[in-house]
Amino acid sequence: MFELLDALSSNVFDLILTTSEAVAAAAPAAADAAVNAVGDAAAQAAAAAAPVVQDAATAVAAAPEAVVETAKEAAKKPTFIDDVKLFFEEGGHFMYVNVCSLTIALSVVVERTIRLYMSYSMNSRLFMDQISRLVAEDQVERAIKITSGGDPTKPIKAPMASVVRAGLRKADEGESEISGALEEAVMEATPLIQTRVAALWSISNIAVLVGLVGTILGLISAFKSLGAVSADKRSEVLSAGISEAMNNTAFGLGIAVTCIIAHLILSSKAKSMIEEIELCSLRVEKMLSKRLDKKRSQAIQKAS
């Protein structure tokens, strides 16, 4: 039995030893095969990536040229200034006459906007609340200082302050004097507010008429030149004349629309400001009348 086990173990040991020797002998061959496989894969990947790398290099090399070409194309495109210049050149001399109309209109709009929305504007509710409180406390002199902005030599430019100040200065001279001073101040303030606003309507009409004159002259020039040129150039001459006519019409109408819109806005603001001044004038007159009645009643009580 032991001999059988020894023989069996000897055979197993020989088998294991043989297998180990076989594996050891096959290992270098497997390693060489693996190295060769990796090398082949790397070579194939490099070969596949070479065109991509070459295309990328070509694109990078061509990029500056593309940028230059794009810049040249952008430079060739007409800008807004070029379009305006061409518009005036095609319109003829009467375009520059309408430029004067546009300049005057814009000057009026800017000046009136600054006056009505900045210089003449004030918080009437807060202002009248302060005046009412001071008049009720019989502090008329202090109320006058408020209407002057605290500096009598540099009074507030707002017409409302001027009207209220005119009434307060007559506070002790009777109701008729107060009413007359307020009425006179309102009449003086009204033209200051409405100055040059109505001129925008006239400027709009003038701009349209000047544009029409340029239109007619352009058409006359176009038809007059048709007989003096050859047949192949007649369409070009007629196109230039029509362009001159239409540009004058468009420019004149554009100025007119601008003036009408500005007139609508500024006249509405001026009207609301005048109505507000008239309302404040009535409030001041009532306040000062109540103050005089109160003083009269106090004088009668003292006399009695």
Burial class for 118, CB neighbours closer than 10 Å (0-12, 13-18, 19+): exposed
pLDDT tens for each residue of 259-271: 999 999 999 999 9
Residues near 259 by Cβ (< 8 Å), separated by ≥ 6?
105, 200, 201, 203, 204, 207
Q: Within a 13 Å sphere around the CA of 129, how many CA atoms are in the beta-carbon half?
A: 5
Q: How would you label 289-302 residue by residue, b for 16+ Cβ within 10 Å and e otherwise?
A: eebbeeeeeeeeee
SS3 content of the chain, % helix, strand, coil (to 5): 90, 0, 10
| Per-residue model confidence (pLDDT) at position 27 | 47
Q: What is the pLDDT of residues 119-155, one digit of tens each?
A: 898 888 899 999 999 988 888 889 888 888 766 556 6
On the question of pLDDT at 89 being above 60, the answer is yes
Residue 15, both tokens: 């088998």
Whether residue 70 lies inside any domain: the answer is no
Average pLDDT over the chain reads: 78
Question: According to the model, what pLDDT value does residue 50 have?
Answer: 53
Residues 209-225 have pLDDT tens digits of 999 999 998 888 888 87
For residues 202 and 104, give the distance between their C-alpha atoms in angstroms, rounded to a whole number. 11
In a domain, 41, yes or no: no
How confident is the model over 8-36, as a mean pLDDT? 49
Query: How far apart are the C-alpha atoms of 29 and 23, rounded to whole Å?
Result: 10
pLDDT greater than 70 at residue 20: no
Inside any domain, residue 264: yes
Find the DSSP H helices in 77-174. 80-91, 94-114, 124-136, 140-147, 159-169
278 within a domain of the structure (yes/no): yes
Q: Could you tell me if residue 11 is inside a domain?
A: no
Task: Say if 44 falls within a structural domain.
Answer: no
- Could you give the percent of the chain with pLDDT greater than 90? 36
Confidence of residue 5 (pLDDT cuts 50, 70, 90): very low
**For residue 112, is it within any domain?**
yes
**pLDDT beyond 80 at 40:** no
Q: Which residue range forms the structural domain that includes residue 130?
A: 94-290
Domain total of the chain: 1
Q: Which among 138, 133, 158 has a CA at the least distance from the CA of 147?
A: 158
- What value does the mean pLDDT take over residues 244-262? 93
55 within some domain: no
Give the span between the Cα atoms of 238 and 228, in whole angstroms.
12
DSSP 13: H
